[in-house]
Amino acid sequence: MTRHLTVLGAGAWGTALAISAARQGVAVQLWARDGAQVAEMQAQRRNVRYLPEAAFPDSLALTPDFDAAVAHAHGNGGLVIVGTPMAALADILQRLPEQVATLWLCKGFEKGTGRLGHEIARAVRPQARSGVLSGPSFAKEVALGQPTALVAASTDTALAEQAVDVFHSDSLRVYTSNDPVGVEVGGAVKNVLAIATGIADGMDLGLNARAALITRGLAEMTRLGVALGARADTFMGLSGLGDLVLTSTGALSRNRTVGLQLATGKPLAQILQELGHVAEGVYSAATVWQRARTLGVAMPITEAVVAVLDGRLSPAEAVGALMRREAKAEG
Protein backbone atom coordinates (compact mmCIF):
# COMPACT_ATOMS: atom_id res chain seq x y z
CA MET A 1 0.00 0.00 0.00
CA THR A 2 1.38 3.40 -1.01
CA ARG A 3 2.03 5.77 1.87
CA HIS A 4 0.87 9.37 1.43
CA LEU A 5 2.45 12.53 2.83
CA THR A 6 1.69 16.21 2.44
CA VAL A 7 4.22 18.86 3.45
CA LEU A 8 2.81 22.37 3.89
CA GLY A 9 5.60 24.88 3.38
CA ALA A 10 8.44 24.71 0.86
CA GLY A 11 11.21 26.22 2.94
CA ALA A 12 14.48 24.39 3.43
CA TRP A 13 13.32 21.98 6.14
CA GLY A 14 9.94 21.12 4.65
CA THR A 15 11.54 20.54 1.27
CA ALA A 16 14.29 18.36 2.75
CA LEU A 17 11.81 16.05 4.49
CA ALA A 18 9.64 15.89 1.37
CA ILE A 19 12.69 14.78 -0.64
CA SER A 20 13.72 12.25 2.01
CA ALA A 21 10.28 10.63 2.16
CA ALA A 22 9.86 10.61 -1.63
CA ARG A 23 13.13 8.72 -1.97
CA GLN A 24 11.52 5.89 0.00
CA GLY A 25 8.62 5.65 -2.44
CA VAL A 26 6.18 7.71 -0.37
CA ALA A 27 3.69 9.67 -2.52
CA VAL A 28 4.53 13.23 -1.46
CA GLN A 29 2.83 16.52 -2.22
CA LEU A 30 4.77 19.68 -1.33
CA TRP A 31 2.64 22.80 -0.99
CA ALA A 32 3.80 26.41 -1.32
CA ARG A 33 1.47 29.40 -1.23
CA ASP A 34 3.45 31.18 -3.97
CA GLY A 35 2.34 29.88 -7.36
CA ALA A 36 5.43 31.31 -9.06
CA GLN A 37 7.69 29.41 -6.65
CA VAL A 38 5.78 26.21 -7.36
CA ALA A 39 6.15 26.73 -11.11
CA GLU A 40 9.89 27.34 -10.76
CA MET A 41 10.38 24.23 -8.61
CA GLN A 42 8.34 22.19 -11.05
CA ALA A 43 10.44 23.37 -13.98
CA GLN A 44 13.78 22.89 -12.21
CA ARG A 45 12.74 19.79 -10.21
CA ARG A 46 14.52 21.24 -7.22
CA ASN A 47 14.10 24.09 -4.71
CA VAL A 48 16.65 26.47 -6.18
CA ARG A 49 16.13 29.09 -3.49
CA TYR A 50 16.75 26.89 -0.44
CA LEU A 51 18.25 23.56 -1.53
CA PRO A 52 19.72 23.83 -5.01
CA GLU A 53 21.94 20.79 -4.41
CA ALA A 54 19.07 18.30 -4.05
CA ALA A 55 16.99 17.09 -7.01
CA PHE A 56 13.37 16.08 -6.49
CA PRO A 57 12.54 12.35 -6.74
CA ASP A 58 9.83 11.39 -9.22
CA SER A 59 7.26 10.71 -6.48
CA LEU A 60 7.44 14.30 -5.19
CA ALA A 61 4.62 16.44 -6.62
CA LEU A 62 4.10 20.16 -6.12
CA THR A 63 0.99 22.28 -5.75
CA PRO A 64 -0.11 25.81 -4.75
CA ASP A 65 -3.61 24.45 -3.97
CA PHE A 66 -3.91 24.11 -0.18
CA ASP A 67 -7.10 22.07 -0.14
CA ALA A 68 -5.83 19.64 -2.78
CA ALA A 69 -2.58 19.19 -0.85
CA VAL A 70 -4.44 18.38 2.38
CA ALA A 71 -6.83 16.01 0.57
CA HIS A 72 -3.85 14.11 -0.87
CA ALA A 73 -2.88 12.97 2.62
CA HIS A 74 -6.23 13.01 4.40
CA GLY A 75 -8.08 11.07 1.69
CA ASN A 76 -5.51 8.29 1.82
CA GLY A 77 -4.99 7.95 5.57
CA GLY A 78 -1.71 9.82 5.31
CA LEU A 79 0.15 12.40 7.31
CA VAL A 80 0.31 16.19 7.04
CA ILE A 81 3.54 17.96 8.00
CA VAL A 82 3.44 21.70 8.71
CA GLY A 83 6.77 23.17 7.64
CA THR A 84 6.01 26.87 8.11
CA PRO A 85 7.70 29.17 10.65
CA MET A 86 6.15 29.29 14.14
CA ALA A 87 4.45 32.61 13.34
CA ALA A 88 2.22 30.86 10.77
CA LEU A 89 1.46 27.67 12.70
CA ALA A 90 -1.85 28.78 14.24
CA ASP A 91 -3.19 29.97 10.88
CA ILE A 92 -2.25 26.74 9.11
CA LEU A 93 -3.69 24.52 11.86
CA GLN A 94 -6.97 26.46 11.80
CA ARG A 95 -7.31 25.68 8.09
CA LEU A 96 -6.97 21.93 8.60
CA PRO A 97 -9.94 19.61 9.27
CA GLU A 98 -9.99 18.14 12.77
CA GLN A 99 -9.59 14.62 11.35
CA VAL A 100 -6.21 15.31 9.70
CA ALA A 101 -3.21 13.80 11.52
CA THR A 102 -0.57 16.53 11.78
CA LEU A 103 3.02 17.04 12.88
CA TRP A 104 4.81 20.39 12.77
CA LEU A 105 8.49 21.16 12.28
CA CYS A 106 8.78 24.71 13.61
CA LYS A 107 10.76 25.34 16.79
CA GLY A 108 10.11 28.21 19.15
CA PHE A 109 7.60 30.04 21.29
CA GLU A 110 4.92 32.02 19.47
CA LYS A 111 5.75 35.72 19.62
CA GLY A 112 3.29 37.69 21.69
CA THR A 113 1.48 34.74 23.28
CA GLY A 114 4.49 32.69 24.40
CA ARG A 115 2.74 29.49 23.31
CA LEU A 116 4.53 26.35 22.18
CA GLY A 117 3.20 24.38 19.23
CA HIS A 118 1.24 21.88 21.32
CA GLU A 119 -0.42 24.78 23.19
CA ILE A 120 -1.41 26.39 19.89
CA ALA A 121 -2.80 23.08 18.63
CA ARG A 122 -4.75 22.54 21.84
CA ALA A 123 -6.34 25.97 21.43
CA VAL A 124 -7.27 25.79 17.74
CA ARG A 125 -7.74 22.01 17.16
CA PRO A 126 -8.40 20.48 20.59
CA GLN A 127 -9.65 17.12 19.27
CA ALA A 128 -7.09 16.65 16.49
CA ARG A 129 -4.24 14.13 16.46
CA SER A 130 -1.06 16.17 16.49
CA GLY A 131 2.58 16.28 17.50
CA VAL A 132 6.04 17.54 16.62
CA LEU A 133 8.97 16.22 14.57
CA SER A 134 12.27 17.56 15.88
CA GLY A 135 15.91 16.81 16.56
CA PRO A 136 19.46 17.74 15.50
CA SER A 137 19.16 18.25 11.77
CA PHE A 138 20.34 20.61 9.07
CA ALA A 139 18.03 20.57 6.06
CA LYS A 140 20.85 20.35 3.52
CA GLU A 141 22.26 17.16 5.04
CA VAL A 142 18.85 15.47 5.19
CA ALA A 143 18.13 16.44 1.57
CA LEU A 144 21.46 14.93 0.49
CA GLY A 145 20.75 11.69 2.36
CA GLN A 146 23.41 12.10 5.03
CA PRO A 147 22.80 10.17 8.29
CA THR A 148 20.40 11.95 10.65
CA ALA A 149 18.28 11.05 13.69
CA LEU A 150 14.99 12.72 14.62
CA VAL A 151 12.29 12.28 17.25
CA ALA A 152 8.53 12.23 16.61
CA ALA A 153 6.77 13.33 19.79
CA SER A 154 3.06 13.05 20.54
CA THR A 155 0.80 11.88 23.31
CA ASP A 156 -0.81 9.87 20.50
CA THR A 157 1.54 6.88 20.19
CA ALA A 158 0.02 5.73 16.90
CA LEU A 159 0.71 9.13 15.34
CA ALA A 160 4.38 9.04 16.37
CA GLU A 161 4.64 5.54 14.91
CA GLN A 162 3.07 6.78 11.69
CA ALA A 163 5.88 9.31 11.37
CA VAL A 164 8.37 6.47 11.77
CA ASP A 165 6.62 4.54 8.99
CA VAL A 166 6.77 7.52 6.61
CA PHE A 167 10.26 8.84 7.30
CA HIS A 168 12.44 6.06 8.76
CA SER A 169 15.09 4.93 6.25
CA ASP A 170 18.71 3.85 5.92
CA SER A 171 19.78 7.51 6.22
CA LEU A 172 17.08 8.89 8.55
CA ARG A 173 16.37 7.25 11.90
CA VAL A 174 13.17 8.36 13.63
CA TYR A 175 12.63 7.68 17.33
CA THR A 176 9.35 8.18 19.18
CA SER A 177 8.58 10.11 22.36
CA ASN A 178 5.44 10.73 24.40
CA ASP A 179 6.83 14.00 25.80
CA PRO A 180 6.00 16.67 23.20
CA VAL A 181 6.42 19.41 25.83
CA GLY A 182 10.05 18.47 26.44
CA VAL A 183 10.79 18.02 22.75
CA GLU A 184 9.33 21.44 21.95
CA VAL A 185 11.11 23.27 24.77
CA GLY A 186 14.42 21.78 23.64
CA GLY A 187 13.81 22.86 20.05
CA ALA A 188 12.83 26.38 21.11
CA VAL A 189 15.51 27.19 23.68
CA LYS A 190 18.47 25.74 21.77
CA ASN A 191 18.12 28.45 19.12
CA VAL A 192 18.60 31.17 21.72
CA LEU A 193 21.55 29.37 23.30
CA ALA A 194 23.16 28.93 19.87
CA ILE A 195 23.22 32.71 19.51
CA ALA A 196 25.10 32.88 22.82
CA THR A 197 27.64 30.28 21.69
CA GLY A 198 28.10 32.09 18.39
CA ILE A 199 28.82 35.32 20.25
CA ALA A 200 31.42 33.58 22.43
CA ASP A 201 33.10 31.96 19.44
CA GLY A 202 33.00 35.22 17.49
CA MET A 203 34.77 36.93 20.38
CA ASP A 204 37.35 34.10 20.36
CA LEU A 205 36.70 33.29 24.02
CA GLY A 206 37.94 29.72 23.57
CA LEU A 207 36.70 26.15 23.75
CA ASN A 208 36.35 26.23 27.55
CA ALA A 209 33.81 29.04 27.23
CA ARG A 210 31.93 27.17 24.51
CA ALA A 211 31.67 24.03 26.65
CA ALA A 212 30.53 26.05 29.65
CA LEU A 213 27.82 27.84 27.66
CA ILE A 214 26.46 24.62 26.17
CA THR A 215 26.44 22.83 29.52
CA ARG A 216 24.92 25.66 31.52
CA GLY A 217 22.54 26.32 28.63
CA LEU A 218 21.33 22.74 28.88
CA ALA A 219 20.64 23.35 32.58
CA GLU A 220 18.55 26.43 31.70
CA MET A 221 16.64 24.49 29.05
CA THR A 222 15.89 21.65 31.46
CA ARG A 223 14.71 23.98 34.25
CA LEU A 224 12.25 25.69 31.94
CA GLY A 225 11.03 22.42 30.48
CA VAL A 226 10.37 20.82 33.86
CA ALA A 227 8.50 23.94 34.97
CA LEU A 228 6.29 23.57 31.89
CA GLY A 229 5.56 19.92 32.60
CA ALA A 230 8.28 18.14 30.62
CA ARG A 231 10.36 15.19 31.80
CA ALA A 232 13.96 16.04 32.69
CA ASP A 233 15.34 12.99 30.85
CA THR A 234 13.95 14.26 27.52
CA PHE A 235 16.63 16.97 27.51
CA MET A 236 19.40 14.37 27.42
CA GLY A 237 18.00 13.13 24.09
CA LEU A 238 18.00 14.22 20.47
CA SER A 239 15.75 17.26 20.86
CA GLY A 240 17.62 18.54 23.91
CA LEU A 241 21.36 17.93 24.12
CA GLY A 242 21.55 16.69 20.54
CA ASP A 243 19.95 19.72 18.92
CA LEU A 244 21.72 22.11 21.30
CA VAL A 245 25.17 20.79 20.38
CA LEU A 246 24.43 20.81 16.65
CA THR A 247 22.93 24.29 16.54
CA SER A 248 25.58 25.77 18.82
CA THR A 249 28.58 24.38 16.94
CA GLY A 250 27.52 23.61 13.36
CA ALA A 251 28.66 25.86 10.53
CA LEU A 252 25.21 25.59 8.89
CA SER A 253 23.44 27.00 11.98
CA ARG A 254 21.68 30.28 11.25
CA ASN A 255 21.34 31.14 14.94
CA ARG A 256 25.04 30.52 15.56
CA THR A 257 25.79 32.71 12.53
CA VAL A 258 23.78 35.55 14.07
CA GLY A 259 25.89 35.29 17.22
CA LEU A 260 29.16 35.23 15.28
CA GLN A 261 28.13 38.37 13.41
CA LEU A 262 26.91 40.17 16.53
CA ALA A 263 30.36 39.62 18.05
CA THR A 264 31.87 41.69 15.23
CA GLY A 265 29.65 44.65 16.10
CA LYS A 266 27.47 44.33 13.02
CA PRO A 267 23.88 45.63 13.54
CA LEU A 268 21.22 42.96 13.96
CA ALA A 269 19.05 44.33 11.15
CA GLN A 270 21.93 44.04 8.69
CA ILE A 271 22.74 40.51 9.87
CA LEU A 272 19.17 39.33 9.30
CA GLN A 273 18.97 41.00 5.90
CA GLU A 274 22.17 39.32 4.75
CA LEU A 275 21.16 35.96 6.23
CA GLY A 276 18.09 35.70 4.01
CA HIS A 277 16.61 32.87 6.13
CA VAL A 278 14.63 32.80 9.36
CA ALA A 279 16.76 32.57 12.53
CA GLU A 280 14.08 31.53 15.02
CA GLY A 281 16.22 32.32 18.06
CA VAL A 282 16.16 36.04 17.26
CA TYR A 283 12.37 36.13 17.23
CA SER A 284 11.74 33.80 20.16
CA ALA A 285 14.46 34.90 22.62
CA ALA A 286 12.40 37.58 24.35
CA THR A 287 9.39 35.26 24.53
CA VAL A 288 11.49 32.46 26.07
CA TRP A 289 12.80 34.88 28.67
CA GLN A 290 9.34 36.26 29.43
CA ARG A 291 7.90 32.76 29.85
CA ALA A 292 10.76 31.86 32.19
CA ARG A 293 10.25 35.01 34.27
CA THR A 294 6.54 34.27 34.62
CA LEU A 295 7.38 30.80 35.94
CA GLY A 296 10.18 32.03 38.21
CA VAL A 297 12.83 30.07 36.28
CA ALA A 298 16.39 31.45 36.24
CA MET A 299 17.81 31.66 32.70
CA PRO A 300 20.80 34.04 32.86
CA ILE A 301 22.28 33.08 29.48
CA THR A 302 18.95 33.62 27.76
CA GLU A 303 18.56 36.94 29.59
CA ALA A 304 21.98 38.05 28.34
CA VAL A 305 21.13 37.12 24.74
CA VAL A 306 17.92 39.16 24.93
CA ALA A 307 19.87 42.15 26.22
CA VAL A 308 22.32 41.91 23.31
CA LEU A 309 19.56 41.52 20.71
CA ASP A 310 17.75 44.52 22.19
CA GLY A 311 20.94 46.58 22.10
CA ARG A 312 20.97 47.11 25.87
CA LEU A 313 24.31 45.33 26.26
CA SER A 314 27.24 44.80 23.95
CA PRO A 315 28.47 41.20 23.55
CA ALA A 316 31.47 41.99 25.79
CA GLU A 317 29.23 43.53 28.47
CA ALA A 318 26.93 40.50 28.38
CA VAL A 319 29.85 38.11 28.88
CA GLY A 320 31.10 40.24 31.76
CA ALA A 321 27.69 40.21 33.41
CA LEU A 322 27.50 36.42 33.20
CA MET A 323 30.98 35.92 34.63
CA ARG A 324 30.34 38.30 37.54
CA ARG A 325 27.30 36.37 38.75
CA GLU A 326 27.47 35.10 42.32
CA ALA A 327 29.05 31.66 42.76
CA LYS A 328 26.60 28.80 43.35
CA ALA A 329 26.28 25.02 43.42
CA GLU A 330 25.96 23.34 40.05
CA GLY A 331 22.39 22.43 39.14
- Active-site entry in 107, 111, 140, 190: 190
For residue 30, what is the enclosing H or E element? strand 27-31
Answer positive or negative: Cα dihedral of 221, 226, 232, 238. Answer: negative
Phi then psi dihedrals of residue 289, to 5 deg: -65, -40
DSSP output for 264-319: TT--HHHHHHHH-S--HHHHHHHHHHHHHHHHT---HHHHHHHHHHTTSS-HHHHH
Annotated catalytic residue 190: yes
Residue 214 neighbours by CB under 8 Å, 6+ apart = 193, 197, 244, 245, 248, 249
Residues taking part in catalysis? 190
